[in-house]
Amino acid sequence: MVGAPHAHLGPQFDPLAGLRATADPPWDVYLTGTVFLDIIFTGLDSAPVRGTESWARGMGSSPGGVANMATALARLGLRTALAAAFGDDHYGEYCWDVLEQGEGIDLSPSRTVPGWHSPVTVSMAYEGERTMVSHGHEPPPDADFMQEGALACPPRARAAVASLIPGRRSPWIAEAARRGTRIFGDVGWDETGAWDLAALPDLEHCEAFLPNAEEAMRYTGTGCPRAAARALTAFVPVAVVTLGADGAYAVDRRTGETAEVPAIAVEALDPTGAGDVFVAGFVTGTLAGWPLADRLAFAGLTAALSVQEFGGSLSAPGWSEVAAWWRKVQSVAAQDPAALRRYAFLEDLVPETCAEPWPRRRAVPTIGFGRSV
C-alpha cells in the first residue's frame, strides 16, 4: 500500500493542560537512543521460505527504534524531545522530517552526523507475529554520546524514559534524576544470562521499572510475575510487569496500591512497538496524576490499539483512536459492562471532537523524493 507521507498536525488534546504552569520544564518527556529506518512488509501469508521468493501485498516505511517511543508519547499529547544521531543520507533526512514536521517532536538535542548512514530494519509481519532483519554501523566517536544516551547535561523535562543495559551506567540518567526528572526504566533481554539487578546500576534513579513477565521473574528469581513485581519494589518505587495476553500487574510501594488489568481482546496484526506504546500510555497517566489502576488500564488500551496496525511508530494511537474506542464501548455497554466500568475514567478525558470511526486503518507512508525547498 502506497500512501502520502503521514501528516500529523499535532495533538488535539493535552492530558496535562490542567497541570501546566509557567515554571514548568520545557518538555514533558526526554528520550535518547538510536533511530532506525523501518521498512515494513505486510500481507505475507506465512514466513519466508529459504530458497524461494515471497511477495508482500503491502509495504511501508517509518522511523523506528527510539522513534517508536517518541511518536507514541507525542501522539498522546506530551511535549517530547529526542536526542539522537541521524545519518546524513536520504534515510536520515526522511526520519528527521517525519519526526519533526509530521509528529511535532523537538529534535533540537539531536544532530546529523556527516558520513554515517542510518541503521535500517526490515520487518515482515505475518500471522500476528513479526520477523526482523537489521543492519547498521557504529557511529563515529564524536556521536557516541548521542547513541549511548550519555548526554552529560540532559535538558529539563518532567520525565525521561531510559533503556537500562546490564553492566552499563548512563551518566545522563543520574543527572536528570538529580534535576527532578522522573525516570521510567525499561529493559531488554539480558544477553549475558546473569539476570542480576545489581548489574542495572541506573535502576536506583528510576521511579518506575517496566519489564515483561519473563524478564521480571528472571531478575527476581521468582516463579510468578505478581511475586516478581512485589519483589522489584525493594529496588524501585513502582514495578509494572506486563503479562502478554493476560494484561499487566503493578505495585506502588509508596502508596501500597496494587492493580491488575486484563488485556483487551483484539485482532493483532503486528506487535511491533506495542511495548513502547504501553510505556508511553503509563507515563502519560503518571504525569497526569491518575490512580495506578487507571494508568495500567490506559497503557494496556493504547498497546491494544497499536497492535491492530502495521509498523512501530506508524501504529501508535492518538486521542482520536482512544475516543473512538471509548464511544464504541459505550455503544455496546450491555455486551461488555466490565469494560465500561474499568475504563469509566475516560469519560471525563476524551475530547468529543476527536471521535472517529473505529477501527481505523492509517495510510502507510513510503519514502518520498527528498526534502522540499
What confidence tens digit (pLDDT) does each residue in 196-252 have? 999 999 999 999 999 999 999 999 999 999 999 999 999 999 999 999 888 999 999
Amino acid at 237: P
Name the maximum alpha-carbon separation found in the chain. Answer: 62
Q: Place 47 in a pLDDT band, splitting at 50, 70 and 90.
A: confident
pLDDT tens digit sequence for 120-131:
999 887 776 778
Please, where are the H alpha helices in the chain? 66-75, 90-97, 144-147, 171-178, 213-220, 225-232, 274-287, 292-306, 319-331, 337-342
Give, in order, the Cα–Cα distances in Å from 201 to each of 82, 107, 204, 218: 23, 28, 6, 17
Contact 271, 128 (CB under 8 A): yes
Nearest 5°: the CA angle 343, 347, 352 is 130
Q: Place 108 in a pLDDT band, splitting at 50, 70 and 90.
A: very high
d(CA 185, CA 236): 10
Alpha carbon 168 to its chain centroid, in Å, reads 22
- Predicted pLDDT of residue 151: 58
Closest CA to 37 of 365, 280, 321: 365
How many C-beta atoms lie closer than 10 Å to residue 353's C-beta? 10
What is the mean predicted confidence (pLDDT) over 55-79?
92
d(CA 141, CA 123): 29
Closest CA to 297 of 322, 266, 260: 260
| Position 288 pLDDT exceeds 80 | yes
| Position 30 pLDDT exceeds 80 | yes
Closest CA to 156 of 94, 93, 81: 81
Q: Is the torsion defined by CA of 85, 89, 94, 97 positive or negative? A: positive
pTM for this one? 0.89
pLDDT tens digit sequence for 313-362:
888 999 989 998 898 888 876 667 888 889 999 988 887 665 444 444 44
- Predicted pLDDT of residue 9: 43
Amino acid at 66: V
- Predicted pLDDT of residue 137: 86
Closest CA to 136 of 128, 126, 125, 147: 147
Task: Give me the residue label for grid cell 473505529.
Answer: 358
Those residues with Cβ within 8 angstroms of residue 316's Cβ, 6 or more apart along the chain or in another chain? 68, 71, 72, 75, 273, 276, 277, 280, 302, 306
d(CA 237, CA 346): 26
Q: Place 1 in a pLDDT band, splitting at 50, 70 and 90.
A: very low
Grid coordinates belonging to 262: 486484563
